[in-house]
Structures are given as structure tokens and as C-alpha cells.
Amino acid sequence: MELLQSGLKLRQLQIFREVLRAGSTRRAAAALGISQPAVSQQVKQLETALGITLFERSTNRILPSREAWELLRNVELALTSLDRLEASIFAMKNDEKQRIGIAAPAVFGFVTLPKVVATIREKTASSVRSISGNYEQVGEHILSGRADLGISRLPLDGQLFEWAPIGSAHNVCIFHRKHRFSKKTCIEAHDLAGEKIVDIDPQFASHQMNFNALRFAGIEPDILVEYDSNGYEAGFVAAGLGVSITNEIIAREYAAFALDAKPVEPSALYHYVAVWQKGRVFSNALEISLEAILSAFQLIAQSAPVVLPLQAASRGAGRSS
């Protein structure tokens, strides 16, 4: 399959990607089920077509150049888009068998995503690919075509995305059920004096907000553990190692842990949404998947509220279908 007038071929890109993934032409050949000379030939043809030297060659080995690694990023995006195109064509012929890609922070794999997948399985013949990442990465997964839908929070770029509201959440403090905080109705900054804190990485805005509140109250935080992804804190807190501040929607994912949660003051307000690429045309299976995400959050909020009922917003409109 020729992709460009320059003679660039799909097979060349696939082999190039595999060489960088595998680390050698020999391992790439084994993974692709072709001969090593065939791999080397395709790589040389790709270099000729591009007019770029992608590998430095020495006895029995090749070393990727800086240009090779830069090219790989674009090749990954291109091949992912082609995979998505192929899947979309298949879905048009067999709507119920579409594979749905859902991007979300990994923490939603505890409670919400299993409910979403169960609904998709019940109502369609589609399979699901779950892709993890932070909120910024969720957007990248959607724009690159790796994911059809995502779970994220505002703000988002309205020129790139459309979304449907899931709900809003305030901050809560999570702690072991036997902790002294279980007798309180609300946790304030001065209550955290002397407490070991399990805190999110300083790169996150919520970290700075929590620290500012404590220091305003004259308290220097006693950080026991820093984590870089929601979900890690649940294990440390459940083990009785400290307390942590998160928000209601995240805290609901910890239903299987021996944790309690109480509102925190002062608090921020977070607005969660189901998100997709602007202008995306929805198949029946994708429509059902979106409904499954929205319904799962509502069901979790109604059946097992941690602190406060989910503050649901009305559903967005204007989606293509």
C-alpha cells in the first residue's frame, strides 16, 4: 500500500516501527514472521524514500538516529489512525462489533469502568479497549484516535472536544475507618496538624491548593508518601499510614477499601465530563457506550455515596449521530 507520491509504503512504516520496538532487525523479523534480510531491505528502502539516514550501521547491529526516534512518534500516530480507520470501516459493516476505546485515569478501573464495560457487553457485541492516562493524556488519546471516548474534567478546549457532564465534586479527606476523623462532620486545615499525609505529586494543582490551605492555617504538612496517580493513595490510607485529600468522584472508586471520607474545607470544585473529539460521528455502539459512562457515574453516586450526592449537570447536546 503506497501512502505518498514519494513512494512511502505502509509496510515500510510497520517494519520500521517494529525494529525500534524490538531493538534489532533480528528480533523484528521474528516478531513479524519474515526474514532478517527482508527487514533490512525494507528499512533501506524507507531511508531512500525519505532521504534520511535513520540508523547508524556497524558490524551485526544498527543504532537508531535521533531522526528515527522523532519519526517514530509520527509513525505511531499515523498507524494508529489507520487502525482506527480500519476499525471504523469494519464497524460500518458490523455496527454491533465495533471495538470501543475508552481513555480514563487508571483509578476509574476500580468501580466505574467495570460497570461501563458490563453495560456495553450486555447491549452490544462490541469489545472495549481501556487506555489509562492523566487528564491531559486522555485528550491526547482521543485526538490521536487511540480512544473514542474519555473520562476527564474541565476545562477543555471547545475547539477540539465535545463533552457531556458527568457531575461535580468537592474535596474530601479519606482515612481508615478507625481514624479519629470518623467522628467529625467536616475536616478543616487545623485538623490535619500532626497527621501523616499521603499527598499527590507537587506537579498537580490540587497539591498546591492543599498546601496553601494548611500553611495559611499555620500548619506545615507532614508528608509521608507522595504519589503521581490517583489510586495509589487508597492502599496507603487503608493500611493506616496516613490520610489523603482527594475529591468525591475519585473517592467513590475506593468502595472496596476500608475507608471513610468527610468533606474538606476549604474545597475546590471539579467538573467531570465524558469527552470525545469534536465533530465525531457516533455509531449505535458508541452511543450506547457514552450512555453507559453517564449511567455508571449516576448509579455509583446513588447506590454508594461517599459523602455528598453527585451534583449532576444536564446532558450536553449537539453531537453528530
Q: Which tens digit of pLDDT belongs to each residue from 87-118? A: 667 666 665 567 899 999 999 999 999 999 99
Give yes or no: residues 147 and 160 share one domain.
yes
| Res 44 pLDDT > 70 | yes
- 179 belongs to a structural domain: yes
| Res 304 pLDDT > 60 | no
- 260 belongs to a structural domain: yes
Q: Answer positive or negative: Cα dihedral of 156, 199, 188, 307.
A: positive
- 3 belongs to a structural domain: no
What local confidence, expressed as pLDDT, does residue 213 receive? 63
What local confidence, expressed as pLDDT, does residue 315 receive? 40
- Domain with 56, as residue range(s), is 10-77
The CATH number linked to 283 is: 3.40.190.10
**Measuring CA to CA, how many Å separate 14 from each of 51, 91, 140, 145?**
18, 23, 22, 17
Give yes or no: residues 191 and 262 share one domain.
yes
Mean pLDDT of 284-301: 93
Give yes or no: residues 99 and 23 share one domain.
no
Give yes or no: residues 262 and 178 share one domain.
yes
- 5 belongs to a structural domain: no
What local confidence, expressed as pLDDT, does residue 316 receive? 43
| Res 281 pLDDT > 90 | no
What secondary structure does DSSP assign to 190-231, as a single string?
GGGTT-EEEEE-TTSHHHHHHHHHHHHTT---EEEEEESSTT
Calpha distance 41→50 (Å, rounded): 14
- 312 belongs to a structural domain: no
- Cβ neighbours of residue 92 closer than 8 Å, sequence gap 6 or more: 283
The three grid cell numbers given for residue 21, joined into one nine-digit string? 520496538
Mean pLDDT of 208-232: 72
Residue entry with cell 509496510:
11
What local confidence, expressed as pLDDT, does residue 309 receive? 40
Check if the beta carbon of residue 39 is closer than 8 Å to that of residue 11.
no
Q: Which has more confidence, 93 or 31?
A: 31
State how many domains the chain has: 3
Q: Which has more confidence, 228 or 262?
A: 262
Give yes or no: residues 149 and 297 share one domain.
yes
The CA dihedral of 127, 133, 139, 145, to the nearest 10 degrees, is: -40
Give yes or no: residues 147 and 282 share one domain.
yes
Residue that is last in its domain, among 52, 77, 102:
77
pLDDT confidence band for 254 (50 / 70 / 90) = very high
What local confidence, expressed as pLDDT, does residue 288 receive? 95
- 1 belongs to a structural domain: no
- 147 belongs to a structural domain: yes
| Res 195 pLDDT > 60 | yes
Residue type, 164: A
Q: Helices 25-32 and 10-22 sit at what angle, rounded to 10 degrees?
A: 120
Mean pLDDT of 217-226: 74
Q: What pTM was computed for the model?
A: 0.67
Give yes or no: residues 157 and 172 share one domain.
no
Give yes or no: residues 277 and 266 share one domain.
no
Give yes or no: residues 67 and 139 share one domain.
no
Q: Name the percent of the chain lying above pLDDT 70.
A: 82
| Res 158 pLDDT > 80 | yes
Give yes or no: residues 198 and 110 share one domain.
no
- 315 belongs to a structural domain: no
Check if the beta carbon of residue 231 is closer than 8 Å to that of residue 110.
yes
Give yes or no: residues 213 and 72 share one domain.
no
